[in-house]
Structure 1
Amino acid sequence: MHFKLDDSLGFWINVVAGKMKNELNRSISMYNITAEQWAVLSRLWEEQGVTQKDLAERTGKDQPNTGRILDKLERKGLVNRIPDTQDRRIVLVFLTDTGCELKEKLIPIVTDVLIRAQRGIDDKDITYLKQILEKLSRNI
C-alpha cells in the first residue's frame, strides 16, 4: 500500500494548527500569555464559575494539562479557584479583574491573526471547513 504524507488530511490539519498556534503565541507574547492560556481565558470570558473538567472539555484539552494551565494563570493573578458552596469537593474557576481586563487587549490581536490566516478564503468556505472539522472531531 502506498501512502503519501502530502495527501493526508491529518498532516495538513497538524501543519495549519501548528502555524496558527505559533503565530498566536508570537502575537500575544507581549502580554505573557500562550495560545493554550488564551483558550482557557476565552472560555472563561464566555462563562465563569465552571469546573476544571468543564474547561478541559470546552478547550479540547485533558484535565491534567488544563490544571497546569490554570496553575500558571493563577500565579499570574488572572484566575481564582474557589470551592463550590454546595459541594466543597468541586472547585470553580473565576477570572480576576485583571483576567477580565485582558479580554479587551487580546481579542483584537487574536482577531487580526485569524483575519490574516483566512485572507483570500470566502466566508462560506470558512463555515463549511468548520463544519467538516467538527464532523472529523466527532468521528474520532
Structure 2
Amino acid sequence: MHIDDSLGFLINHAGRRLTLLLALRYQPHEITTEQWSVLNRLYEQDGITQKELARRSEKDQTNITRILDQLERKGLAVRKANEADRRSFLTYITPKGRELNETLLPIEQEVIQSVLGGMNTDDVAQLRRLLKQVTVAAERTIEQLGE
C-alpha cells in the first residue's frame, strides 16, 4: 500500500492542513493554534488546575506550563495559587482572553466550513462520528498497552 492511501497518514495530513489554515487566520491576532486550544479550554471552564487543563488540552505538563507562560505574558490567562493544594495552581482566562476567544471562535468555524463546504450535513455528521469512533478505539488500545 502507498503511504498516501494509509488511513493514519490521511488523518494526520488533514489535521496538519487544518492547523496550518487556522495558524494563517490566527496570525493577525498574534496567537498560535496551540495557544488557542488552551485558551479555548479555559474559556469553556476556567479555575481548573494546570494538570486538569493539560489533560483537557491533551498537552504534557511541560508544554502546558510553556503555553500558560505565553498566555500570561499576553494578558490572556492568569495562574493563581490553589488554596486547597499548595503544590498546584488554578488557571483562569482574563477578560482580554475571553474577548480574543470570542473573536477566534467564528474564524475557526469559517475555516472548518471552508473545508467541509462540499459536504452535506449527513456527511459531516458521519465524519464526526467516525473520527470520534477512531479516537475512542485508539485511546482504548493505548490504555491496554499501558497495562
1:37-77 deviation digits (Å, cap 9, x = unpaired): 11111111110011222222222222221221111111111
Residue number in structure 2 paired with 1:10? 8
Deviates more, 1:82-91 or 1:14-23: 82-91
Residue number in structure 2 paired with 1:80? 78
Q: Distance in 2 between matches of 1:12 and 1:99?
A: 33
TM-score for the superposition, normalised by structure 2? 0.87
% identity of equivalent residues: 42
TM-score for the superposition, normalised by structure 1? 0.91
Residue number in structure 2 paired with 1:99? 97
Amino acid aligned to 1:134: K
Residue number in structure 1 paired with 2:26? 28
User: Could you say what secondary structure the match of 1:61 adopts?
Assistant: coil
Deviates more, 1:120-129 or 1:71-80: 120-129
1:24 CA drift (Å):
0.2
1:29 CA drift (Å):
0.7
How many corresponding residue pairs?
138
1:110 CA drift (Å):
1.4
Equivalent pair of 2:26/2:32 in contact (CA under 8 Å): yes
Residue number in structure 1 paired with 2:111? 113
Q: How does 1:39-50 map to 2 (within 5 A)?
A: 39-50=37-48
Q: Distance in 1 between matches of 2:86 and 2:74?
A: 24
Residue number in structure 1 paired with 2:123? 125
Residue number in structure 2 paired with 1:90? 88
Q: Distance in 2 between matches of 1:127 and 1:53?
A: 32
1:8-47 deviation digits (Å, cap 9, x = unpaired): 1111111111110011000011110111111111111110
Amino acid aligned to 1:19: R
User: Could you say what secondary structure the match of 1:33 adopts?
Assistant: coil
1:139 CA drift (Å):
2.0
Amino acid aligned to 2:77: V
Alignment partner of 1:56 out of 51, 54, 71: 54
